[in-house]
Structure 1
Amino acid sequence: YNEFFKPAEIQQAKELLKQGGARAQGLRAGKPDWIHQTGLVVRGYVSQLDDSVQPYGLVVPATYQPNLPFHYRLDVWLHGRSETLSELNFIVDRQKNAGQFTPANAFVLHPYGRYCNAYKFAGEVDVIESLAAARQAYPVDANRISLRGFSMGGGGTWHLGVHYADWWTAIAPGAGFAETAEYQKLKPENVPWYERKLWHWYDATDYAVNLFNSATVAYSGEIDRQIQAAQVMARELKREGLELTHIIGPKTEHKYHPDSITEINHRVDNIVAAGRHPLPRVVKFSTWTLRYDTMHWVTVDALAEHWGRARVEAEIKDASSVVIKTQNVTALTLAMPAGLCPLDQSRAPQVTLDGQTVTAAPVTSDRSWTAHFLQVNGKWIRANSADDGTLRKRHGLQGPIDDALLSRFVMVRPTGQPLHAATGTWAQAEFNRAVTEWRKLFRGEAPVKDDSAITEADIADSNLILWGDPASNKLLAQMLLAKTTVALPFRWDAQTLKLGELNLPANQHMPLLVFPNPLNPKRYVVLNSGFTFREDSNATNSRQTPRLPDWAVVDITVPPTYSTPGRIVSAGFFGERWEWNAPPKP
């Protein structure tokens, strides 16, 4: 892969192989001494995405003793961009460099982030998985976990901070970027309508109100152009009635000013000492997608329309009542864990949703509470479950195409003859590209199986990324013929591809889409696409955003480029019940 960038890395690789051999001997002897080591430690985990082993670094405090009943503070630090940050270079650095911030008596977790993608897509999953691995291996205080980063890591801190604001005691982004269009000076009229909608996935500015649920200390150098990130976040927070704490290093470019480090540490240490509130009385939450569906004790189960702003403001008013205001929400759940519900057990809680009062399920004897609500014809009613048993967009099954690569997947290679030689050639080239680009940008080997080798376990556990057409891919043909409650939304033969109102020549067009798998509607099926941004996005992580929505049709007579897989004839989003929605007219 041409991933040795300096001659010295060859010797470093040999040294790491020796370390790996020593660890294997330690495991064989039942004495894995590194799991009790303090100082700089590199560990790893097996990712549920693709079974790759992903590394992470730790700073383990000198006070750590595995047998003590003490839970420690943990800070997550997100690194900046480096084009030469191979796994080798990451591990070598993590074994000698403690990093910019090493608070006393605390763990610091350094995720690899699957290279340099600003902690989006598989990089986002890596932060989640490495944090889970660290928490499983060490005694971490769940109410004293903070998120920090600089430059690309600052960008990651902004978006992970707003998307998972209830996880973090403190959020401390430095520099970076917080959205796409302003930072890149893009003209919206030059960007397809569906791509503009999908900016709502990773634009932290669109989720600014979620920082109400955490504490934020931002940093910028006074003469760093990336001060723009904190400035646009401050603007959006002000619109929500919130004032951003923004530490500015005087006359400083793209680095931390020494005095600012002292000030940031003082503020973050104070916040962490107070700890995260495990169940606040007031929750403010905004989302645009059910990918991000929960804030503290509020979970949004269904939206009126994806990629429009949804909001929930919930408040525990007194011992027996909760008041909620919503926007673009049609189902939600309130859930408080055992021991934390402050409501009176002796009275059924009264929940007022958008002015309508509903008697909720009672608080149980362990002081936990779960209540489900559904909007029917504009009226809120009590529901028995978050799942109404119908086909609808829900968390982890809401699209767009790229979402299927945020959980376990298998690329399904066709073994038959295609309907047309040209479409078969296009599909093979795009399949090869998807596999190569996954390894290049997300640092794993994409799981690949022939269509004839897919097992019941694959169907049960994985999103299936199918390549080809109904003639070349046996599994796609099986799905189209299956007598199930979920049917794929197209018809496709040698003459015509029909999708919604589109009727197109099958020898010139290929569909790319995501949909619930007819053989297992709890998982996705994807046709003819890996992640949808292409090589033209790689110059800056701020452009690595989804390029295609739930479905698209490509004219393959126009060759793929660094920006598109061919000419996009039409593209759009399915409705909230996965029904066909015609795209807006140009």
Structure 2
Amino acid sequence: MRNKLVSLYLLPILLYSLPSLKDTIIPDTWYYLGPFPVAPREGITGITEEEIKYFCDTTKIYRSIFPDSGIIRWQKVEKDSLNWVKVDYEDILWDTLIDFYGFALIQSLTYFYTEVFIPEECRALVMAERASFFLNGISYPGDPYGHNFVRIPVVLKKGKNSILLKVSGFPPHRFQFALLPAKEPVLIIKDDITAPTLVPGENRVLIGFPILNTEERSLWVRLRVAGKGVEEKEISLFLYPQMVKKVPIEFKADVSPAESLFPVYWHLTGEGFSSLDSLTLLVKKAEDVQKITFISRIDSSVQYFALRFPKNYQKDREYSLIVSLHGAGVEAVNQAESYLPKDWAFIACPTNRRPFGFDWQDWGRIDALEVIEYLKRKYPIDTNRIYLTGHSMGGHGVWHIGLLYPSLFAAIAPGAGWPSHQLYVPWTFQRSEVFASSQVLAIRNRVLKIDQTLPFLENALNLPIFIFHGSRDDNVPPLFARMFASYLADLGYRYFYKEVPQKRHWYYLDEGTVCVDDPEIMEFFQKEKRDPFPKRIIFQTSDLDIASQAYWLKITELEKDQEVGRIEGEVRGETIEIKSKNVRGLKLELPKDFTSSGFLTLLINGKRQRIKSKPSLILYRRGEQFYLADTFKPELRGPMRKAYFSPFLLVYGTKSDSLSVITYQQAKREAFLWWRIGNGRCDLLPDTLVGEEEMKRYNLIIFGGPSANYLSERLAGGLPIKEDKGELLFFNKRLSGELAYRYIYPNPRGKEKFVLIAGGTNQKVLKLSTFFSTLYSSAGLPDFIIFSPEVEKKGWGGIRACGFFNRNWGLTPGDYFLQE
């Protein structure tokens, strides 16, 4: 069977092609069950979804807190003339609930069920706008944001096909759903091409093409670009069954000054198919907003940012840089259009990887930092005059990034920003908050700490802040702006607070200027210049892989990871005094001429020592004293999300027929999520094809433990969780019962890279092993979790073990929870 499965996914000539669905099918009639409360960042209804994937029992009673009597049943609903299905729940007093508990309570989910009958097995594409779905029991991501470009390839079986949708958010709930013909074996999703704008003259053009394999077989395809003024380029790529891969292609384009539109033609070919099409790139003037594409270091995907050049731009002078972060659902190019050109500054707007993206945390934060580094390399930027601003979700991003990287910016200006998910849309009604033990929640909170903003406000000691907010904002309450201002006032820090009377969330000033381009903010920025070597520093962080340094002082190691470490440094002549908490290692980066004598005095936590001054000083703590060291080696550290912060591969298991179907679906779903949420690119491999080269180059996201995945089996001797006769061995602990697990660990065969493994003690819980997703902001997942099917009803209350590995990748009491 092993050889058969390898052939299945590697030798497309061995498989026939299914026919396409002949005509579009839009179901008229649906049955809905809901609404059920689903707390923010959790999404649990308490319903056993396995029971409703294939059939809806209209006689069965379900419980929900929303309707009178708390009882609901499946009810019938029809699509409207525009093919939307909508349920208003007019008998539920939403406003009353909001008055008592706030709008966090009414975040809810409704299930919708229907069936379609197909005369023969065939391929199709699913459009699921504002919904995720199950088809014949298999889970697919859909497009909850309703961007209308996501198409999911599926196979419809002959006869009855069961469709279950999950539609969530704030009521009313509505969605569109259609089964579309898959007319071509492979297609390019035109609405999701990531492409730059051009300028007259020679251009280096970098485009990301999302290529979708609609077939149940693997295919080799070739993509060639051509056209007038286009340097012909061709790439070849391998596509796994029913997978999307967004691939880069780069070429030269010679654009005439007379052109405003520049067509690029492509030819997509493969076994038995050939298609021609084109896209039109916009040619912009120097004073227009440009779209610039680049390759991300995370996954070699094509990302873009919007850039407005300075007015009357000259290459031989330095300019300031204003980085502006957009709000939820806003395109970066539209954010840039909100600004008038400045004669003193570039204005750059990163994407957060998508308009909703990651709340400027995790991959959104990395995207913003990549754009800043790109601009510093490419253009004449005065690095002491970089400013960060943003609005709404972007305002949160300003607090998050600005406070963790205070030495990068001369000043920041957050607008209508919120401090954290827990405060913005409170987590009060999470099942996890109700059922999980205090130990489990404490572990989750340690992971979430770095995503908070208020605990790191002291980092702004040398960072001037302009806070702006509309006083009648009904989206992000101005109380958050007032909260930040109050804490800054308590600290005695420099800030300016502007609350604009009678203005709502996104507002215009009296003269028609957009809020983010407020002249007062621009004047504030122009007055501020970064001091690269301030005499006094306060810096706090809880995750050194995310933020570790402010100005000349760097934390190289924490005593306890994922807990806040604090350093306070002050220069007085040739003496540097440092106070630290939860810090084990330090690095000082000093000017070459820091002292005239060649020596300096270090006073660390009251311990004095006289040492030779050097531009780089590394110190480690032993006992109560810090001692000089020659070097430090960065260590691999969790939590789980770190596996996706650098190049990774998705590895599915092929060890048995039934389990390989599960692990391939899990890997495929992860790839679709990474594309849909993160505009990302990733590759899949079967376990049998992962060799030493892959282990050296990539973090490996492995689906299936040793019973399902040959790679997990190969690595099992060096891993902490083992499967043994339906039980788990976790170090020296034996855990019985139906248990799923997921954990991050250094690859035993490639010590500089991670493995992130999901598995379970049987087929049922193997399906459950990806229940906790890492691919969204503030997931809170630590280094490892072991959990039972109770998580479907109790969230983190169903966790049997979770926590952090120590720096030797063992266990330390107090850093983990274990229910034996």
Same fold (TM over 0.5): yes
1:376 to 594, 614, 622: 622
| Residue in 2 that maps onto 1:81 | 328
**1:171 shift after superposition:** 0.6
| Residue in 1 that maps onto 2:606 | 355
Q: What SS is found at the alignment partner of 2:539?
A: strand
Q: Which amino acid is 1:206 matched to?
A: P
| Residue in 2 that maps onto 1:278 | 532
Q: Is the counterpart of residue 297 in structure 1 residue 552 in structure 2?
A: yes
More displaced stretch, 29-38 vs 341-350: 29-38
Alignment deviations for residues 269-315 of structure 1 (CA, whole Å, 9 cap, x no partner): 34444411111121110111212111111110111112322110111
| Residue in 1 that maps onto 2:478 | 227
Mapping 1:165-564, distance limit 5 Å: 165-187=406-428, 189-190=433-434, 192-224=441-473, 225-242=476-493, 244-256=495-507, 258=509, 265-291=519-545, 292-318=547-573, 320-336=574-590, 340-363=591-614, 369-387=615-633, 394=634, 397-417=636-656, 427-481=663-717, 487-500=718-731, 502-505=733-736, 508-528=738-758, 532-533=772-773, 544-555=777-788, 557=789
Distance 1:251 1:18 in 2: 38
TM-score, length basis structure 2: 0.60
- Do the aligned residues in 1 keep the contact of 2:406 with 2:459 (CA within 8 Å)? yes
Alignment deviations for residues 179-223 of structure 1 (CA, whole Å, 9 cap, x no partner): 232322333954733222222121111111111131111111112
- Do the aligned residues in 1 keep the contact of 2:340 with 2:517 (CA within 8 Å)? no
Distance 2:532 2:648 in 1: 33
Q: What SS is found at the alignment partner of 2:778?
A: coil
Does the C-alpha gap of structure 1 residues 385 and 23 become closer, same or farther in structure 2, counting only changes over 3 Å?
A: farther
Does the C-alpha gap of structure 1 residues 361 and 23 become closer, same or farther in structure 2, counting only changes over 3 Å?
A: farther
TM-score, length basis structure 1: 0.82
**1:48 shift after superposition:** 1.6
**1:462 shift after superposition:** 2.2
Alignment deviations for residues 383-422 of structure 1 (CA, whole Å, 9 cap, x no partner): 11123xxxxxx56x3211012212222212222238xx5x
Does the C-alpha gap of structure 1 residues 125 and 509 become closer, same or farther in structure 2, counting only changes over 3 Å?
A: same
Q: What SS is found at the alignment partner of 1:54?
A: strand
Q: Is the counterpart of residue 571 in structure 1 residue 802 in structure 2?
A: yes
More displaced stretch, 235-244 vs 345-354: 235-244
The two structures, once aligned, show a CA RMSD in angstroms of: 3.5
- Do the aligned residues in 1 keep the contact of 2:339 with 2:517 (CA within 8 Å)? no
Alignment deviations for residues 311-340 of structure 1 (CA, whole Å, 9 cap, x no partner): 10111111x22110001101111113xxx3
Q: What SS is found at the alignment partner of 2:810?
A: coil
Distance 2:640 2:193 in 1: 40
Q: Which amino acid is 1:44 matched to?
A: T
Does the C-alpha gap of structure 1 residues 53 and 474 become closer, same or farther in structure 2, counting only changes over 3 Å?
A: same
| Residue in 2 that maps onto 1:120 | 361
Distance 1:22 1:13 in 2: 24
More displaced stretch, 235-244 vs 225-234: 235-244
- Do the aligned residues in 1 keep the contact of 2:313 with 2:343 (CA within 8 Å)? no
Distance 2:197 2:520 in 1: 41
Does the C-alpha gap of structure 1 residues 426 and 5 become closer, same or farther in structure 2, counting only changes over 3 Å?
A: closer
Alignment deviations for residues 535-579 of structure 1 (CA, whole Å, 9 cap, x no partner): 9x8xxxxxx302321100132x55868x96994322112224332
Distance 2:770 2:399 in 1: 26
More displaced stretch, 280-289 vs 231-240: 231-240
Does the C-alpha gap of structure 1 residues 512 and 23 become closer, same or farther in structure 2, counting only changes over 3 Å?
A: farther
Q: Which amino acid is 1:246 matched to?
A: Y
Distance 1:377 1:15 in 2: 54
Distance 1:262 1:450 in 2: 48
**1:228 shift after superposition:** 3.0
Distance 1:453 1:32 in 2: 48
Distance 1:524 1:237 in 2: 39
- Gaps of at least 5 residues in structure 1 are 364-368, 388-393, 482-486, 538-543
More displaced stretch, 50-59 vs 457-466: 457-466
Distance 1:313 1:509 in 2: 45
Distance 2:321 2:196 in 1: 29
Q: What SS is found at the alignment partner of 1:475?
A: helix
- Do the aligned residues in 1 keep the contact of 2:229 with 2:253 (CA within 8 Å)? no
The structure in which a higher percent of residues are helix is: 1
Q: Which amino acid is 2:342 matched to?
A: P
Does the C-alpha gap of structure 1 residues 15 and 452 become closer, same or farther in structure 2, counting only changes over 3 Å?
A: closer
Does the C-alpha gap of structure 1 residues 306 and 240 become closer, same or farther in structure 2, counting only changes over 3 Å?
A: farther
Q: What SS is found at the alignment partner of 1:56?
A: strand
Distance 1:531 1:350 in 2: 54
Q: Is the counterpart of residue 51 in structure 1 residue 287 in structure 2?
A: no
Q: Which amino acid is 2:310 matched to?
A: P
More displaced stretch, 467-476 vs 186-195: 186-195
Q: What SS is found at the alignment partner of 2:562?
A: coil
Distance 1:353 1:567 in 2: 45
Distance 1:450 1:399 in 2: 25
Mapping 1:21-60, distance limit 5 Å: 24-25=230-231, 27-28=251-252, 37-60=286-309
**1:22 shift after superposition:** 6.9
Distance 2:353 2:722 in 1: 38
- Do the aligned residues in 1 keep the contact of 2:786 with 2:799 (CA within 8 Å)? yes
| Residue in 1 that maps onto 2:405 | 164
Q: What SS is found at the alignment partner of 2:395?
A: helix
Does the C-alpha gap of structure 1 residues 524 and 179 become closer, same or farther in structure 2, counting only changes over 3 Å?
A: same
**1:513 shift after superposition:** 0.8
Q: Is the counterpart of residue 103 in structure 1 residue 336 in structure 2?
A: no
Distance 2:587 2:194 in 1: 52
The structure in which a higher percent of residues are strand is: 2
- Do the aligned residues in 1 keep the contact of 2:287 with 2:341 (CA within 8 Å)? no
Distance 2:340 2:611 in 1: 46
Does the C-alpha gap of structure 1 residues 109 and 23 become closer, same or farther in structure 2, counting only changes over 3 Å?
A: farther
Distance 2:594 2:289 in 1: 45
Does the C-alpha gap of structure 1 residues 584 and 511 become closer, same or farther in structure 2, counting only changes over 3 Å?
A: closer
Q: What SS is found at the alignment partner of 1:407?
A: coil
Distance 2:607 2:448 in 1: 34
Q: What SS is found at the alignment partner of 1:133?
A: helix
**1:530 shift after superposition:** 7.4
**1:15 shift after superposition:** 13
| Residue in 1 that maps onto 2:135 | none
